[in-house]
A = this chain, B = another copy of it.
């Protein structure tokens, strides 16, 4: 039995890149960016170029790329569309390379660049992702985007959901306190995920901005078996 470390990081400011150069880092921003990325690949996108900086996203737009970009839930004026997974339809994205910039999600993809491998997680690909992670002989970090560097509930319970699948057979010897907490929060949330999310700050923000129509979808397990992975600064759908 391989003994590996399983850690969870609740915010980008808690991330210490030097600790994860040999780890697989799972980036998590379930409401909404990592759900949207999984949706894009499920609908046939070829690649996604994550861009943390708005001005860089704009430069790509000027070069003719399809650009999805938002800040604080609102579509940026130069972008083709924003951060709802419902934007990433087959009609729009199949066969395309998409440039993508969001409030929280693309920042952590940048942060994780020095890790052994960066993959994208959401409820939409949770089983495929977890089964693939279990097969790897690597330490794993579940890296939550949070909200503007703060802890958030929805990414943490997703980390707990993945940790539950990963720890079923005790393959991980070293479970950090953050993972313990994520597992326990997930144990409280799992029987009524939609109800549990109801009390969170992001739920309130999305409702206030009238962009909460996609929450049920984002909480749907196993919409796809795609596992987006970073290769040379670009997300592709081929994990191998």
Write the residues of chain A forming the contact surface with B, with a CB cutoff of 8 angstroms.
10-11, 13-14, 147, 149-153, 156, 176-178, 180-181, 184-185, 187-188, 199-202
Chain B positions within 8 Å of A11 at CB level: 14
Give me 4 other A-B pairs in contact (C-beta within 8 A), A13-B13, A184-B184 excluded. Answer: A11-B14, A13-B14, A150-B178, A156-B181
Min CB gap A136→B, angstroms: 24
Min CB gap A167→B, angstroms: 12
Chain B positions within 8 Å of A201 at CB level: 176-177
Q: Say which residue of B14, B147, B152, B202 sits within 8 Å of A151 (CB atoms).
A: B14
**Contact B180–A181 (Cβ < 8 Å):** no
**Contact B153–A177 (Cβ < 8 Å):** yes
Instruction: Give the number of times this chain occurs in the complex, counting copies.
Output: 2
Chain B positions within 8 Å of A149 at CB level: 14
A13-B13, A14-B13, A14-B14 given; A200·B185 CB < 8 A: no
**Contact B181–A185 (Cβ < 8 Å):** yes
Chain B positions within 8 Å of A178 at CB level: 150-151
Docked complex Cα distance between A14 and B14 (Å): 8
Chain B positions within 8 Å of A150 at CB level: 14, 176-178
Min CB gap A112→B, angstroms: 17
Counting chain B CB atoms within 10 Å of each CB, which of A13, A156, A181, A201 scores highest? A181
A13-B13, A149-B14 given; A199·B180 CB < 8 A: yes
Chain B positions within 8 Å of A180 at CB level: 153, 199-200
A177-B200, A200-B177, A201-B177 given; A151·B10 CB < 8 A: yes
User: Smallest CB-CB separation from A13: which chain B residue?
Assistant: B13
Docked complex Cα distance between A200 and B149 (Å): 24
Chain B positions within 8 Å of A153 at CB level: 177, 180-181
